[in-house]
Structure 1
Amino acid sequence: MKKHYLVTGGAGFIGSNYVHRLLRRGERVTIYDNLSRTKRNIEWLQAEFGEKAFDLAVGDVRDAVRITEAASGADVIAHLAGQVAVTTSVVNPRDDFESNALGTFNVLEAARASGRNPIVIYASTNKVYGGMEEVELFEEPTRWRYKDLVNGCPETQPLDFHSPYGCSKGAGDQYVRDYHRIYGMNTVVMRQSCLASSQEVITPFGKKKIYEIQPGDLIHSGWGWTRVKHIWETGVKPVRRLTTMQGHTLTLTTNHQVVRPHGLYSNRDFAYGDFLATLPEALYAPSWERVEQQVLTENEYLEKVRSRTTDRRCLNEAQKISESIIPLTGDTLLAVAEVVGWLFGDGHLGIHHRQSREAPAYNVQFFGSKSELEEIKKQMNWLGIPVSAVISSYSESELPSGHIVKGNSARIQQQTLPIFTLFEMLGVPVGDKVRVGYSLPDWIASGHHLVKRAFLRGFFGAELGKVQTDSYLAPSFAQSKDVNFLDNGREWVRKLRDLLYEFGIETSYFEGKPETYKKGETVQMTVRLLGGKAMFPRLAEIGYAFSPQRSSRLNELLYWLGTNTTPEFFEPAIQLRKADGHLIWDSLQSFENLGEQKVYDLEVEDPAHLFLAGGVQVSNCIYGPRQFGIEDQGWVAWFIIAAVMGRDITIYGDGKQVRDILHVDDLLDAYDLVVEKIDVAKGQVYNLGGGPANVMSIWAEFGPRLEKLLGEKIEVARGDWRPGDQKVFYADISKAKRELGWEPKIGVAEGVDRLFEWVKTNKSLFSK
């Protein structure tokens, strides 16, 4: 059910980003703001969603009557308005008190008067902890550090305000907590640290229309698969179609941002020949269809597990698996088919009988490179099936030729009966695949064509070699079989070849001579894909699951084939076109206005907020926008803006003061979790910051990084320490992680670098 949100300070940095998120979700929003700073964020929101997309109440939180009127129908109040600077509080402490302490009191009274008991989220500050002089510090060459508070400052740290700003925010902090204790109101305190600020979409299982996407779906970011958090309809708007030289098409509004070599740009001013980041294999991906096929029933699966064990823990795990994914159908079935394909290629199911225990051990193992195994882990997590971390070990093995292979190997595994039983029932062979008989499971051989494709994607990721760009030589895969099981192996290979033929891929087959290997004679069976250059688009229709290196090379070759150029020029030329991840820079060929259409947008978990639409990398929102900070509030943004715009920077103290940095998107994730888990959060105080993993000294460490980004030395002025300044502050965020399941996803380096690029790209916003 949609909620009515009142956001005080909704025209500010955090507020406008929160409103943007809420409107994307289709929530009803009222912005309450005195517009004392700028109307730019209001204009931005109106341009994005329309003037009637939200209600704007121009008013001040010091006006008790006005805020009471605005709050009368709210389900959630995010109180973000107030005076935000320590220096201003020192110069004008009365104004600071009235804005922060009195303003917060008025908001709480307005919420109480509404009779609705709305959720009230109060944005407090780490300044309520004061200087923390009793906490012992030690000095390092580029930073100060806590001696004993390894995880940072906890919520239980005594308050010691140190400045009028700390006093006014601390008073509000206490009011918010006591209104819960006395009146039972749903209030939560967030002590925040510094903040840095008709289209098809590519999924692993085919191209979906954007309106077919559901929250939780996997889609391609350009670097890998990312999960969709939200999708929403934004109305009917004018759109146009962009077409690249290679044939990628993208239908979008003119203000939607698209990735170009130097950052994100609105496509409004694009011109012929402009580079866009594209994924060539997206041209060949099949259209997604809803797979109605069902595999396994709950009774079949649970009866099989019960026949093997009475262990309560195993039975509970099997019940969870059954409830979450069985019967296998839809995208879940396709995801499992990819995993099964890898297990047929480079996996192992084993039963080990141990002398020390009556019950045997059941093991499911995946082998591959670390990057491949991390991709498999993501998919298993998406399915809700736990696996181990990547395990690396040194090993030596003898090939059938007699050669000894030495080196590090990697695997992930799960040693539980329920997971073993799941894959066994899906037809994955048990034991040494060289010396057991098996066949292509019927649910794949006679299944939906997308199920067959998913199985081949997984098998190719494990077994099929990389494409050869210097010769266009088709890749091959090889499997060995004990001579006693050779007929079975030939039948297995025949069925694989028949499956490939269904996708338009012809193959050749040959056998090596029998070789003695460990327990007996084996024969290597090799299958090579045929068809020359014409074969590669057919291969792209299937692709390589879980194998970033093979996928990247295939995308390079697909782009190269579109240029109709000979192989010897491949390597030097492709370097000019190679973008990040699997992406290639393609050139814009044309654009066409299409009139008005229904428009959708979505939000993804990818920290860069990027996804592929029509094979072109676009953004679902502006990265770190709308912070037009002042020098003593939002120091990360201010220093970057000042450096880019050539403005003066003043460093107070020694520049080795340490702060944790939190990206606005991570902060807003916490707000959403508070609303979702209000029964847990009400009456609580939570530190929200980057935590000990995301800290940086404000100039001794941040300055050199900024100079490197800017490409020149930055001259700064120096000033004395100011009232309320702290040498070290970073928050202990373990309570928010424990109770809300929240933690930051965007690291310091990534956040700073991307914010710098955004400011540099949008300099016009800061010249007003």
Structure 2
Amino acid sequence: MKLLITGGAGFIGCNSADYFLGKGHDVSVLDNLSRAGTDKNLEWLQKRHPSVKFIKADVRTDQAVLDEEVSKADAVLHLAAQVAVTTSVTNPREDFDINALGTFNVLEAIRKSDNKPSLIYSSTNKVYGKMEELEVLEGEKRYKYKDIEGVDEKQNLDFHSPYGCSKGAADQYVLDYARIYDLKTVVLRQSCIYGTRQFGIEDQGWVAWFIIATSLGTPLKIYGNGKQVRDVLYIDDLVRCFEMVFDKIDKTLGNAYNIGGGPNNSLSLLELISQIESLHGREIEHSFHDWRPGDQPVFICDINKARNDFGWEPKVSPEEGVKKLFNWVQENKELFQ
């Protein structure tokens, strides 16, 4: 398979490239290297796989480059994105240009191509908004849904924040291009992916950020009461999901799937802090601040559609995954200085 990965030097992108290159596929990585850590991820990837092709380009502006690279691909993994809600609030135009316009440009490159490669688009649970109609119960260390275990794909879309709008618009374009132009496009609405080579920051990538910050002695700021719950998914499980979606593209095309840890793999912020404290062997300094706009008290995926359509489910528990990420950060502290 000839695979093009946009945003291929990012956290998910470099892990995906590493996996598919290891399987013997021909992989091209397209990235503008604007995000912190992407240069380090690219260097790591090139050392492991000298055959990887790198294209420095921007999905917002380099349409001719996109057209050329897409015309040579059998499949496209579209990961290039602005990824933080807070950044989208500060700079909504840039957020729109990267997430909505950038995805539209990728779709147009596919539509105009002769080969019509398959496409996986990396969407987000934020397309569902705050889901205020779902009753939530508050426990000692976590919130939980009152009447359901997880949110399925029938949940109404309700974009909150510029980020939710830009990702949601792209999400719907990807689905509609399958209907209108008969393209092999798939949407994965991802929930809290974490793992090695993730340069998490306070605004995004909270599992990695908590581990990085505590390893560097940086006090944690908790926005809200810390009882917010997410289903978390280790990177290896997500990359395996990508492979299975491509392998079953005749079944998966035109569909949106909620992809996360599911009800059996969830963590609250407070629970993660407790787990990291056990790994460090000490208490972690943290303080509480106002809730962030659009923050859901709880989001847990119902992953049954993915399980039924292409046989995927997570294998790495939060305990195992957090420990793997913790050990990687301890062994690579120089990357975060």
TM-score by length of 2: 0.97
1:680 corresponds in structure 2 to 251
Q: Distance in 2 between matches of 1:633 and 1:121?
A: 22
1:728 aligns to what? 298
**RMSD of equivalent CA atoms:** 0.9
Structure 1 residues 151-550: aligned runs within 5 Å? 152-197=150-195
| 1:89-108 equivalent positions in 2, closer than 5 A | 89-108=88-107
Unaligned runs of 5+ in 2: none
| Aligned equivalent of 1:670, options 241, 261, 266 | 241
- What code does the residue aligned with 1:669 have? R
Letter in 1 for 2:83: V
1:115 aligns to what?
Answer: 114
Structure 1 residue 82 corresponds to structure 2 residue 78: no
Contact 2:7-2:81 within 8 A present in 1 as well = yes
Aligned counterpart in structure 2 of residue 20 of structure 1, from 14, 18, 21:
18
SS of structure 1 residue aligned to 2:30: strand
The answer to whether the aligner puts 1:703 opposite 2:273 as a matched pair is: yes
How do 1:40-79 residues align onto structure 2 when only pairs under 5 Å count?
Answer: 40-50=40-50, 53-63=51-61, 64-79=63-78
Question: Which deviates more from structure 2 when the two are superposed, residues 756-765 or residues 89-98?
Answer: 756-765
Deviation at 1:715, TM superposition (A): 1.2
User: Following the alignment from structure 1 to structure 2, what is the Cα–Cα distance between the partners of residues 675 and 668?
Assistant: 11
Residue 209 of structure 2: which of 638, 642, 659 is its match? Answer: 638
- Is the Cα–Cα contact under 8 Å of residues 10 and 31 in structure 1 kept in the other structure? yes
Q: Distance in 1 between matches of 2:194 and 2:199?
A: 11
1:758 matches 2:317 = no
Question: Distance in 2 between the 1:56 and 1:98 partners?
Answer: 22
Which of 27, 30, 37 aligns to 2:28? It is 30
State whether residues 108 and 179 of structure 1, in contact with CA within 8 Å, keep that contact through their aligned partners in structure 2. Answer: yes
User: How far apart are 1:632 and its partner, in Å?
Assistant: 2.3
Per-residue CA deviation, residues 490-539 of structure 1 (Å, 9 max, x unaligned), is xxxxxxxxxxxxxxxxxxxxxxxxxxxxxxxxxxxxxxxxxxxxxxxxxx
Partner of 1:719: 289
Residue aligned with 1:20, SS? helix
Distance in 2 between residues matched to 1:185 and 1:665, nearest whole Å: 27
SS in 1 for 2:284: coil
Give the counterpart letter for 1:736 in structure 2.
A
Q: Deviations over 1:696-743 (max 9, x none)?
A: 111x21111111211222111321111110000010000000111000
Q: Partner amino acid for 1:654?
A: N
**1:125 and 1:193 in contact (8 A); partners too:** yes
User: Counterpart of 1:46 in structure 2: which amino acid?
Assistant: Q
State the one-letter code of the partner of 2:215.
V
TM-score normalised by structure 1 residue count:
0.43
Distance 2:142 2:287 in 1: 19
Q: Which residue of 2 aligns with 1:228?
A: none
Q: Offset of 1:765 from its aligned partner?
A: 1.7
Letter in 2 for 1:155: E
Shift of 1:65: 2.4
Q: Quote the Cα distance in structure 2 between the aligned partners of 1:646 and 1:9.
A: 30
**Contact 1:161/1:724, CA 8 A, preserved across alignment:** no
Paired with 1:61 and 1:196, the residues of 2 have a C-alpha distance of 24
Looking at structure 2, the residues matched to 738 and 57 of structure 1 have their Cα atoms a distance apart, in angstroms, of: 36
1 or 2, which has the higher strand percentage? 1
1:749 corresponds in structure 2 to: 319
Q: Give the Cα separation in 1 of the matches to 2:13 and 2:175.
A: 22
Q: Which runs of 4+ in 1 moved over 2 A?
A: none
CA contact (8 A) 1:177 1:189 kept: yes
Is the CA contact 2:219–2:284 (under 8 Å) kept in the aligned structure 1? Answer: no
Structure 2: distance between partners of 1:703 and 1:175: 38
In structure 1, C-alpha distance between the alignment counterparts of 2:201 and 2:108, rounded to whole Å:
31
Q: Structure 1: which 5+ residue stretches go unaligned?
A: 198-624
- Alpha-carbon distance, 1:66 to partner: 2.4
After superposition, what is the alpha-carbon deviation per residue over 1:647-677, rounded to whole angstroms, capped at 9, x for unaligned? Answer: 2321100100000010011001110011110
Distance 2:30 2:215 in 1: 32
Report deviation, 1:71.
1.3
Q: Which has the higher helix share?
A: 2
User: Aligned partners of 1:736, 1:73: CA distance in 2, in Å?
Assistant: 29
* Structure 1 residue 196, shift from structure 2 partner: 2.1
Q: Given residue 43 of structure 1, which amino acid in structure 2 is its aligned partner?
A: E
Asked if 1:651 is matched to 2:222, the reply is: yes
What SS does the corresponding residue of 2:99 show, helix, strand or coil? Answer: helix
Tell me, in whole angstroms, the C-alpha distance in 2 between the residues paired with 1:732 and 1:632: 25
Q: Distance in 2 between matches of 1:183 and 1:162?
A: 29
Cα shift at 1:170 = 0.2
- Which of these residues, 309, 312, 317, is aligned with residue 739 of structure 1? 309
Question: Matches of 2:244 and 2:84 in 1, distance apart?
Answer: 28
Aligned length: 334
> For residues 339-360 of structure 1, what are the alpha-carbon distances to aligned partners after superposition, in whole Å with 9 as ceiling and x for unaligned?
xxxxxxxxxxxxxxxxxxxxxx
The one-letter amino acid paired with 1:712 is R
Is 2:204 the counterpart of 1:626?
no
* C-alpha contact 1:659 1:728 (8 A) present in aligned 2: yes
Task: Tell me the CA shift for residue 92 of structure 1.
Answer: 0.3
Which amino acid letter does the alignment assign opposite residue 132 of structure 1? M
**SS of corresponding position for 1:30:** strand
| Partner deviation per Cα, 1:169-220 (whole Å, 9 max, x = no partner) | 00000000000000000000000010121xxxxxxxxxxxxxxxxxxxxxxx
Instruction: Indicate the larger mover: 637-646 or 710-719.
Output: 710-719
Q: Distance in 1 between matches of 2:214 and 2:119?
A: 37
Aligned mates of 1:123, 1:49 — CA distance in 2 = 24
Q: Does the residue aligned with 2:232 lie in a helix, a strand or coil? A: strand
Q: Which has the larger radius of gyration?
A: 1
Q: 2:85, 2:161 within 8 Å by CA — same for their partners in 1?
A: yes
- Structure 2 distance, partners of 1:703, 1:27, is 39
Q: Secondary structure at 1:701's aligned position in 2? A: helix
- Aligned mates of 1:715, 1:169 — CA distance in 2: 34
How many Å separate the matches in 2 of 1:110 and 1:92? Answer: 26
Letter in 2 for 1:112: R
Q: CA deviation at 1:69?
A: 2.1
* 1:758 CA drift (Å): 1.6
User: Which letter does structure 2 place at the counterpart of 1:111?
Assistant: I
The equivalent of 1:278 in structure 2 is none
